[in-house]
Structure 1
Amino acid sequence: MALKKTAAVELTAQEKPESELKSIWESLKLSKTAVIGMVIIILLILIALVTFITEKMGIQILPYNPNEADMSASFVAPCAEHWFGTDELGRDIFSRIMDGTKISLFVGFSVVIFSMFFGIILGAVAGYKGGVIDTVIMRFMDIMLSIPGILFAITLMAALGKGLDKAIIAIGIVSIPEYARIVRGSVLSAKESDYTQAARVIGNKDIRIIFKHILPNVISPIIVRATLGISGAILDTAALGFLGLGVQPPLAEWGDMLGRAKGYIFSAPYTLVFPGLAITLAVLAFNLFGDGLSDALDPKSRKR
């Protein structure tokens, strides 16, 4: 009888994560906006992967070389030959937008990984330890949050220098406090729970309790914040590129394309419109998916 009971408990424990994931997926599918966002994100990822792989293999899949100038074809309006027209150097805008997808997504995911890593550590330590450690860490996070994000990023870029890697570090540092505050709040409520107290009683070390017993149970808000954080990182990258501080020429980046096109807003507005639409579409897709994911991960929303 005892063996049967133990087997039943183990079976229930194995089925619970699967049923939970299925419930989340079913709830997510009910949100049309989340599904639209997810489809756009998958499409952007596929474009980024295809352009990256073909570039490494030396295969030209895009209609034109996105970085090759042709002054004889400068400012060609959208037509059958150049779907989105050409810029001041005669580069095909459609090819540059497709090629720029991999840069924007790479920065977005890299920033989230960077900021989430340090934010989780700082927030978990602050929430679990409390006292002076909590006060020092969170007051420092508050100071960082008091500075407008883009201004803080520009200041860091001025210190670090220009370039894609510097932009990732700068935007990542700016985003750390958001994850730290979310994790701290979740840890504060979870550290007094029964399973945490039980883990502490049987002699588990603090670091094991934090990363094995607490964080896995507060992962939902972190995932939602990370999804929305990608859209913020894409937008910040575009802003730095617009100011000439991000990706450096001749690489194609949506914000840099906007910055170069601002002088031709009346003579060649298409050079500004299409990169702007690309940024808007990417940011909107991650926001829509993030909102739907937030509702799907909330048990109360799933019941409704």
Structure 2
Amino acid sequence: MELNREENVMLEGGVEKTSSPWRNIWSELVKNKAAMVGLSIIVILILIALFGKYLMPYDPNTGVLAESLQKPSSAHIFGTDEQGRDIFSRIIDGTKISLRVGITAVAIALTAGIIFGSFAGYYGGKIDMYIMRLMDIILAFPSLLLAIAFMSALGKGIDKAIIAISIVTIPEYARIVRGSILSVKENEYVQAAKAIGNNDMGIIFKHILPNVMSPIIVRATLGISTAILETSALGFLGLGIQPPQAEWGSMLGAGRGYFYNAPHIVLFPGIAITITVLAFNLFGDGLRDALDPKLRK
């Protein structure tokens, strides 16, 4: 399916109508209620990340010790944490950090994965062997453990978390891109592009990749939820974003010692992580169904 060029022409009542592949995909996506729920939540989260400072009733990083561990009330709808900080404000503030790390890490991993996977799949031979053996070495380790190792070497902080998470997820995208290119590089349009004198880079990035982007887009969407989970895990272990910055995983880690006395401290950050990951998974599953004709009902 050539998403960037192909157009479908339909005749309805003698009137010619043009429908682009992207419009068809959107119409299929709209029919999937779960995917639209996920997309709606994602849009809300993005708006919160962009305009959250106008929604926070309190400074997320400043608390009053005399008001610590307060239960949810009209003054603090999600209660306060062990330092008297408003949990509602901190969850809103943490939204932009989780989305920033998730989206940026996936963008970096996707870019590197496309480059490595394209070269491996198109050229084959020793290039393919060296690249894919390197990817196999990375995949041999659990991604979270490898991310922890990178964080230990790089240090703590949001930028280090982005680098660590992006490195451990590169092989996933490289393998998908390589497999997709292997399945189409012998097709007639690729051979025609070679015959008319297109160079290898032009063939890969202008002719092959635009026609194999469907699985890559779906994996990237689902990968954002994985990156957010790994960010939260690193924060929970104290290796990710550092206080006083608000991050959902670090909020869980700091509040686990007060679980029995003040369960709301871990309840609301946990709900935020669950809803965000679920939203990206629902949207990713719906996008997969819309992009793959075999899965359409």
TM range (shorter): over 0.9
Pick the aligned partner of 1:266 from 260, 283, 289: 260
C-alpha separation in 2, matches of 1:62 and 1:168: 26
C-alpha separation in 2, matches of 1:216 and 1:13: 11
Pick the aligned partner of 2:220 from 222, 226, 240: 226
Pick the aligned partner of 2:57 from 50, 56, 63: 63
1:20 CA drift (Å): 1.1
Matched, 1:105 2:104: no
The SS at the match of 2:217 is helix
Q: Answer yes or no: is the 8 Å Cα contact 2:6–2:21 preserved in 1.
A: no
* Match of residue 286 from structure 2: 292
Equivalent residue runs for 1:151-300 within 5 Å: 151-300=145-294
Normalised to the residue count of structure 2, the TM-score between the two structures is 0.93
Matched, 1:27 2:21: no
RMSD across aligned positions (CA): 1.3
* Match of residue 128 from structure 2: 134
Query: Residues 13 and 222 (structure 1 numbering): CA distance in 2 closer, same or farther, change over 3 Å?
Result: closer
Letter in 2 for 1:45: I
C-alpha separation in 1, matches of 2:55 and 2:209: 43
1:30 CA drift (Å): 1.3
Letter in 1 for 2:214: S
Runs of 4+ in 1 over 6 A off after TM superposition: none
C-alpha separation in 2, matches of 1:281 and 1:153: 23
Q: Which protein has the bigger helix share?
A: 1
Letter in 2 for 1:207: M
Deviation string 1:222-248 (CA, Å, 9 cap, x unpaired) is: 100110010001000000000111111
- Listed as ranges, the gaps of 5+ residues in structure 2 are 10-17
Letter in 2 for 1:29: V
C-alpha separation in 2, matches of 1:13 and 1:79: 56
C-alpha separation in 2, matches of 1:231 and 1:24: 22
1:300 CA drift (Å): 2.1
- Listed as ranges, the gaps of 5+ residues in structure 1 are 1-11, 55-59
* Match of residue 118 from structure 1: 112
C-alpha separation in 2, matches of 1:94 and 1:247: 18
Calculate percent identity across the aligned residue pairs: 62
C-alpha separation in 1, matches of 2:93 and 2:40: 19
Aligned residue pairs, count: 285
Letter in 2 for 1:37: G
Query: Residues 61 and 36 (structure 1 numbering): CA distance in 2 closer, same or farther, change over 3 Å?
Result: closer
